Amino acid sequence: MPESSSLSHVLVLVANRAATSLAPADIAAARDMTGGGPATILSEGEAAEIPCPAPGTGDMPHIAPLREEFSGRDLDLMVVAAQGRRRKLLVADMDSTIVDCETLDDLARHAGIGERIAEITRRSMNGEMDFEAALRERVGLLRGMPATLLEAAWKDVRINPGALELVRTMKHHGACTALVSGGFTFFTSRVAKLCGFDEQHANSLLIENGHLTGDVGQPILGPDAKLAHLRRLAARQGIGTAQAMAVGDGANDLAMLREAGLGVAFHAKPAVRRAIACQVNHTTLRTLLFAQGYAARDFVA
């Protein structure tokens, strides 16, 4: 049995309940690999945590070998520091994170130019293009389109599983929650209201005479602005960014993910997965609550 003083971290295992179940054998194997302590069940058949040493110390490997061991099992694994797990601030991206789509791509699809814009989005979110240049190029292609397409695109938006639980549970326990997106306020204002975010920040699409002008309001909210909002909100809460959680999927989220004490790559683009150790690749946003030590019985639905 390892000494508790050496178990400074926690390995969190979460199963995709639609595809598999977290079995006792999975937990035992993970404990053996990490030299960890007794497991705590956070949700029967779904989530457990194991006290463990810091990655790369003692018997504890870095996260990549652990993920490799459970590849093909539809399990997510995250290693987090045991102290200060419950975060006082959540800063979340919107597109492909809180919602299941890229809203600008959906808008373009209704305008009949979906494939052209989706390819630019893909390259931008994987860090292959400058975010601001890519945003201007995509919005420019919408010049002259009727603004009614925004309502059509809104009808396609679906909130990702676990998003409501994540926001409401963290707020119930005193955290500030903010939706910070490189998308557009037309969508973020509605998503923030549905989920219960305390505030929302995004770009604005300019409209004249009922048509899109092809321009974006200034200043453009990109990677630097996301990081600035994280720092501003942390300062307002009287905490450091080390006490914050950030979640996103694209290259424009990297700066805030690296700065936050718990930055999570959520079903992220390859460039983001290469850069961020804490990843959710198989499961839902519920995993961000398990990572903070919440049991399913603590969730606010």
12, 91, 100, 152, 197 from 243: Cα distances, Å? 18, 11, 27, 39, 18
Q: Are strands 40-43 and 199-203 parallel, antiparallel or unpaired?
A: unpaired
Q: Which helix (H) or strand (E) holds 192?
A: helix 185-195
Catalytic annotation, pick one of 26, 74, 76, 95:
95
Look up 93 and say whether it is catalytic.
yes
CA–CA gap between residue 162 and residue 171 (Å, rounded) = 14
DSSP helix/strand/coil, 182:
strand
Radius of gyration of the chain (CA): 20
Within 10 A of 36 (CB to CB), how many other CB atoms are there?
23
Catalytic annotation, pick one of 26, 74, 93, 106:
93
CA–CA gap between residue 232 and residue 124 (Å, rounded) = 25
List the catalytic residues: 93, 95
